[in-house]
Amino acid sequence: MDISKEFRERGRVDILLRQIRQEATEKYIFMEVCGGHTTAIHSYGIPGLLPGSINLISGPGCPVCVTSESFLDHAIALSAMPGILVATFGDLLRVPGGGTSLEKEKAAGASIIVVYSINEALDLAAKNKDKMVVFLAIGFETTAPGTAAGVLDAGKRGLANFFILSAHKIMPPAMRAVVEGGTNVNGFICPGHVSAITGSGIYGFLPDDFGIGCVISGFEPVDILQSVLMLIRQVNRKDPGVEVQYTRAVRPEGNPKAMNIMKQVFKVSDQWWRGFGTIPGSGLQLKPEYEKSDAGKVFPAPPQRQPVESLCMCGSILRGTHTPADCPLFGTGCTPADPAGACMVSAEGACHAFHKYTMSL
């Protein structure tokens, strides 16, 4: 059986859509907090298939979008320092900040190399012993264990010239911030890959403290529609809880091995999120025993800039209080080719997905 085909099959989709239409008797606002879901929802054209009473909105689930300008400033400053190679995932390249971007600096000659995994960055360090390689570590619980394993691997391989600059974040505090900031969301489509690492327990506070239901979803159309149906039923029953739709990947206890390696290497810290400001306990920084690999500690950050005034509404869009179409820059002053805000840059960003898949439909 080809799982991806089964979960994209038109017949199954039609059955779910019929069921959703039948049971959707109220107004529903469901927020997805994973960029993978944002992309899947819009690339399959799911909003147009749902009844008008169901509104799917995007939250702070795209790691590129929530990355701070000061992190980018730091990365750009590093790339200009002699003897340093900055290794980054490609989707950070075009995020604008301070009138420039990693892409523009790269074109101007800065030492920036695009990698597909931390392992490539480790290999770069092994091959370039005369250089210091700094890996830009971004992402949620999904990618943090990989970074942790990379840091441990650097130690084992004796790569004293390997560093990470961490903007790693964890998801539950941001979901709490969305809710505490005031929201009319009545259900969360919870991230599948984060949950495969953490397990389902991390979302318990949402139904318990706020009465908001959660369904951990897979990424295929059938997954997402089934999750929507499960959330509708939770709302209709007035019985919010945490359910797992993505049972083929997510176990309630998660992946203890990945969690352990993450806990071994990282400590929880406060972290700045675009759209939210500093969220207590929402970031991951290297523990003191790994600080020799911490580019944030070894290479001091440049002085803080005054933030530039902009009409960009990324912040409100990431909080779910506005949609991309509400932004005065959307589609004119901000496009994927010339982005003004981070949400337009990443393929997983809400503005990018809206612009790419639904504009003018």
Which two tokens mark 212? 């908001």
Residue 265 beta carbon to other proteins: minimum distance, rounded to whole angstroms? 25
335 contacts other proteins (rule: CB under 8 A): yes
Half-sphere CA count of 159, side-chain side, radius 13 A: 26
Smaller CB separation from other proteins, 323 or 335: 335
Identify the burial level of 98 via C-beta atoms within 10 angstroms of its C-beta, where 0-12 means exposed, 13-18 middle and 19 or more buried. Answer: middle
Q: Are 215 and 231 in contact (CB under 8 A)?
A: yes
- The interface region with other proteins, picked from 9-17, 186-194, 205-213, 314-322 by CB under 8 A, is 9-17
Residues 62-101 close enough to bind other proteins by CB under 8 A: 91, 94
| Number of chain positions touching other proteins (CB under 8 A) | 27
Shortest gap between Cβ of 119 and other proteins (angstroms)? 11
Stretch that binds other proteins, among 2-10, 54-62, 154-162, 208-216 (CB under 8 A): 2-10
Convert residues 13-32 into a mask of x (bound to other proteins by CB under 8 A) and - (unbound). Answer: xx------------------
* Residue choice 52, 309, 332, 337 for contact with other proteins (CB under 8 A): 337
Min CB(237)–other proteins separation in Å: 27
Residue closer to other proteins (CB basis): 96 or 213: 96
| Residue 100 or 335 with smaller CB distance to other proteins | 335
Q: Which residue has the tokens 């709490």?
A: 176
The CA angle 305-308-309, to the nearest 5 degrees, is: 150
Is 104 a binding residue for other proteins by CB under 8 A? The answer is no
Radius of gyration of the chain from its Cα atoms, rounded to whole angstroms: 21
Please select the residue that binds other proteins; options are 1, 10, 158, 304, rule is CB under 8 A.
10
The backbone region for 199, taken as left when phi is positive above 0, alpha when psi lies in -120 to 50, beta otherwise, is left
Under the binding rule (CB under 8 A), the answer on residue 37 touching other proteins is: no
What the block records as the tokens of 164 is 């990470």
Footprint (CB under 8 A) of other proteins, residues 241-300: none
Stretch of 79-87, 147-155, 181-189, 349-357 lying at the interface with other proteins (CB under 8 A): 349-357
Encode 171-199 in three state secondary structure.
HHHHHHHHHHCCCCCCEEEECHHHHHHHC
128 near other proteins (CB under 8 A) = no
CB 323 within 8 A of CB 79: no
Question: Does position 131 bind other proteins by CB under 8 A?
Answer: no
Strand extents, DSSP E, 15-98: 28-32, 54-58, 84-88
Q: Are 266 and 144 within 8 A, CB to CB?
A: yes
Name the residues that contact other proteins, by CB under 8 A. Answer: 4, 8, 10, 13-14, 42-46, 48-49, 91, 94, 116, 221, 335-337, 347, 355-361
